[in-house]
Amino acid sequence: MLQNIALDQLLLLDIETTPAYQRFSQVPAALQPLWLDKMTKTAPDSTDPEETYGNRAGIFAEFGKIVCISVGFFHVENGRHQLRIKSFASDDEAALLIDFLQLVQKFHTRFPRFQFAGHNIKEFDIPYICRRSVINQCALPPALHIHGFKPWELPMLDTMQLWRFGDFKNYTSLRLLTAVLNIPTPKDDIDGSMVAKVYWEEHNLQRIADYCQKDVVAVAQLLLRFKCLPLILPEDVILA
């Protein structure tokens, strides 16, 4: 599987998002009725806007923001695969995005036919990055000019799509997939549902980045498993 995929031409990524504001009452007045309208369509049984905003705003690019992007690069050293990881974590979303987009451009210059890789990146991470970049008036590099692409033309290797094997009704979480494929993962300090609390109440960006990086490592291990290659050893994960 994935015989034609060159691991060193993949840019692995994962993002962590939160509501753009800590509380619904802080949302700009013009956006509050639009959030309520959104919820009447997506969660019609919800009655408390504070609760729904805190629990759900982070998954919508129009109402959330990115607080961390972690990326990974495969590298071979002494015949073993290594994974080099770099994280962009900041309160300043525009600055975070600019740094990430500059890295994408550098990677694209080096590997013009590279692909993004991640879990559910086609439906979440990449669209979210692009939308937040537009909202923050950050110019998208050519590698992210994907709005006119057909689904099969997108330069993305999505491990969730790979596991579907054509079954578009199936959703499998990254945690479940690593467990099923017997890929060891470190015990998570937090999970995705806790990111907003850790950000707004603890303001612990490093804790969020640590969690984000674990998902990048998990994706790397999945790709190696799909290619029937040895998994990366803990000492071969290198943090920038």
CA distance 216 to 213: 5
Listed residue (62, 67, 37, 64) closest to 49, CA to CA: 37
| In the predicted structure, residue 187 carries a pLDDT above the cut 90 | no
Q: Give the model confidence (pLDDT) of 110-164 as tens digits.
A: 998 899 999 999 999 999 999 999 999 999 999 999 988 877 778 999 999 999 9
| In the predicted structure, residue 195 carries a pLDDT above the cut 90 | yes
If you average pLDDT over residues 23-37, what whole number do you get? 95
Dihedral in degrees, nearest 10, Cα atoms 75, 240, 231, 15: -110
Q: What is the mean pLDDT of the chain?
A: 93
If you average pLDDT over residues 223-239, what whole number do you get? 95
- Alpha-carbon separation of residue 138 from 37, 43, 87, 142, 229 (angstroms): 28, 31, 19, 13, 38
CATH topology of domain 7-20+63-235: Nucleotidyltransferase; domain 5 (3.30.420)
CA distance 160 to 162: 5
- At 205 the pLDDT is 96
| In the predicted structure, residue 198 carries a pLDDT above the cut 70 | yes
If you average pLDDT over residues 78-93, what whole number do you get? 95
Q: Which helix (H) or strand (E) holds 211?
A: helix 205-226
CA distance 164 to 94: 34
Which position has the higher pLDDT, 10 or 240?
A: 10
| In the predicted structure, residue 98 carries a pLDDT above the cut 70 | yes
Residue 25 CB contacts under 8 Å (≥ 6 apart), including other chains: 50
Residue spans of the domains in the chain: they are 7-20+63-235
CA distance 45 to 9: 45
Q: What is the pTM of this model?
A: 0.94
- At 78 the pLDDT is 84
